Amino acid sequence: MGNKNLVLIGFMGSGKSSVAGKLGECLKREVMSSDQWIIDQEQSSIGDIFKNKGEPYFRQLEKKAITAISQRNGVIVDCGGGVVLNQENIDLLKKNGVLIYLAATAEFLYTQIKKSKDRPLLNVDDPLREIRRLLEQRNEKYEQADITIDTTDQSIDWITQEVLKRIQ
Ligand code: S3P
């Protein structure tokens, strides 16, 4: 990887944050998260930002987060699932980073997301259907990654090892 950033992209629930943490430990690299950058900047939770200021405002902040983070080199980047919606974010991250797409089926993502809160986009009557819809919309974006790993039914340790193998 040299001094490039390792950039994890993929849908909510694909394990990006956990894998980023493990990679940080294994490679002794700093981990940066676009969501965390936004939370620190706004002193507010993702859920509250969506509720009080709306998604377009959140996406603006996300763009700022990616602009700031992509100034760095040699870090692990944990991207919010929607970072890829803005092509400029992808282009920026690609300049000095290897993009790794943690792919999974909608059904598997759903089982993972059910365990957690603060996913405002999935606060809907039929979250599985919404996951399918968003995945369909985003797939061509995620597929611009340099490396794709199918993480369906895999553990965080397996995914981490697979990333380490594939970046060699
Ligand atoms: C989003 C994903 C979330 C967070 C926000 C929007 C998305 O991050 O940025 O809720 O649009 O997919 P995670 O992928 O880390 O859950």
The answer, yes or no, to whether any atom of ligand 1 lies below 6 A from the CB of 119, is: yes
110 token code pair: 């759903």
- 168 CA from centroid of ligand 1 (Å): 28
- pLDDT score of 144: 98
The answer, yes or no, to whether any atom of ligand 1 lies below 6 A from the CB of 141, is: no
pTM above 0.95, yes or no: yes
Can you tell me which residue has the tokens 């859920």? 47
- pLDDT score of 92: 98
What's 93-158 look like in SS3?
Answer: HHHCEEEEEEECCHHHHHHHHCCCCCCHHHCCCCHHHHHHHHHHHHHHHHCCCCEEEECCCCCHHH
Query: In the chain, what is the greatest distance between 2 CA atoms, to the nearest angstrom?
Result: 45
The one-digit pLDDT tens for each residue of the chain (168 residues) are 679 999 999 999 999 999 999 999 999 999 999 999 999 999 999 999 999 999 999 999 999 999 999 999 999 999 999 999 999 999 999 999 999 999 999 999 999 998 776 788 998 999 999 999 999 999 999 999 999 999 999 999 999 999 999 999
Q: In a 3-state reduction of DSSP, which class is residue 168? A: coil
Q: Whose CA is nearest to atom 9 of ligand 1?
A: 80
If you write DSSP's letter for every residue of 27-74 in order, what string do you get?
Answer: HT--EEEHHHHHHHHHTS-HHHHHHHH-HHHHHHHHHHHHHHHTT--S
For 139, residues 6+ apart whose C-beta sits below 8 A from its C-beta are none
